[in-house]
Every structure is written in structure tokens, then in C-alpha cells.
Chains A and B, each alone.
Chain A
Amino acid sequence: SQTIHQWPATLVQPVGSPLSLECTVEGTSNPNLYWYRQAAGRGLQLLFYSVGIGQISSEVPQNLSASRPQDRQFILSSKKLLLSDSGFYLCAWSVTRPPNTEAFFGQGTRLTVV
């Protein structure tokens, strides 16, 4: 069966510090991968998605970046965090062939920038 791992679960970082969140998927190959952010009490904002190694699409301009160095690994990074980067970050995956393209989410990383 497929599983998705995301870490760390919680993170407190000072403003201006770098960020690296990692997500890996097991039990499937060539998945679509996604990073979403959820501000407190708000909806899910799509940040990045990837359909293959090295292929990253950015949905919003910001100081975050994403990379996919391996088929089942997705990394979210920042060189300098802002207070507004605080939130609940969720990695997700889906199969690439329709129609069953439901997204499966990791348990999330709660990031607090102080």
C-alpha cells in the first residue's frame, strides 16, 4: 500500500532563517506531488506541484521554492523565512492517470516563524 511521510511534524524558526521540509512517498511510482499551505482557520493554498523529476510548477510568487530530486521525494525550501510563512504545510500525492486522481495528504508540518 502507498504511504506518504512528511517531516518534521512541528517547527519553530526565527525570521530570516532557512527552511527545508521533506516529503517522501512509498508504494507508488511517478506520482504527482503537491505542496499546500493552510493558514490558521483558512483553506488550502496550492504552492507547488510536480508531475515528474525536476518538473516544478509554482502557483504563487513568494520566497519559497520546491525541488524534486527523486521520483518520490519532494522538498520545500526557503532561504529566508518571513513571519507570513507561518502555517500548516501539507504534502500530497496523486496518481497520474485519470479518473481516480484523488489526493492523499501527509500529516503536515506546523511551522511557526518567530
Chain B
Amino acid sequence: QQPVQSPQAVILREGEDAVINCSSSKALYSVHWYRQKHGEAPVFLMILLKGGEQKGHEKISASFNEKKQQSSLYLTASQLSYSGTYFCGTEGTGRRALTFGSGTRLQVQP
């Protein structure tokens, strides 16, 4: 079952922060985050495994609450290069292929 992402779209000014949420109705083994630029393939950002761990990549970090089956992606001090569509991908405890949310379109303006 497809995870639910929110918000669907967000517009920021450079330097502002944003949070993107991802929730699932099923028990999760891991959550993945990807960013896709227009017309390009998605690029892996980070993976979070069950255990509530938090990971970071430059000024982008994420958390995973396995009890609530939710993950959040935190973008701090956003840069123009952060623009794109962010997808969360979830892997169930049965460990089948990644199922992706519908994406969050992020636009960072000067």
C-alpha cells in the first residue's frame, strides 16, 4: 500500500526550513528518501531503518518513528539546489520492493 506524503507542494525562500512527512498504514522495515529533479531519475538521499534512528545528509536530515510508521524529512536553511520532488519509499517488514508516495514538490526561490 502506498505511503501518504504531505504536503503535496511547498514554496520556500532561500534559507527557510521545511518538513516533509510520510506515513504508512503497514509495519515498516525501512524508509527511504529520494529527490527527483524535473525530467531526471530519482536520486537516493538516505535510508532509515527501524529503531527510530535519525540520519543526516548535509543540511537535510530525517527521522523514523516505527511505532507510528511515520518518517519526516527536515530541510534546514534551504538552498536553490534543494528544489525538486521528494519521494519517500517504504519497505514493509515482509521486505518486498519499495513502494513510493506520490511525492512532495519543493520549490526554493531566491
Chain A residues in the interface with B (C-beta under 8 A): 32, 34, 36, 42-46, 49, 57, 59, 90, 98-108
Chain A neighbourhood of B42, CB < 8 A: 44, 90, 105
Q: How many A-B residue pairs have CB under 8 A?
A: 55
**Across-interface contacts of A108 in B (CB, < 8 A):** 40-41
A46 CB contacts on chain B under 8 angstroms: 97-100
Residue of B nearest to A43 (CB): B102
How many chain B residues touch A (Cβ–Cβ < 8 Å)? 24
Chain A residues closer than 8 Å to B2, beta-carbon distance: 43
Residues of B within 8 A of A (CB): 2, 29-30, 32, 34, 40-44, 47, 49, 87, 89, 91, 95-103
**In the complex, what's the smallest C-beta–C-beta distance from A10 to chain B, in angstroms?**
11
Bound form: Cα–Cα A43–B104 in Å: 9
In the complex, 25 of the A-B residue pairs with CB atoms within 8 angstroms, ordered by the A residue number, are A32-B97, A34-B97, A36-B100, A42-B102, A43-B2, A43-B101, A44-B89, A44-B103, A45-B100, A46-B98, A49-B96, A57-B96, A59-B97, A90-B41, A90-B42, A98-B29, A99-B30, A101-B91, A103-B34, A103-B89, A103-B98, A105-B41, A105-B43, A107-B40, A108-B41
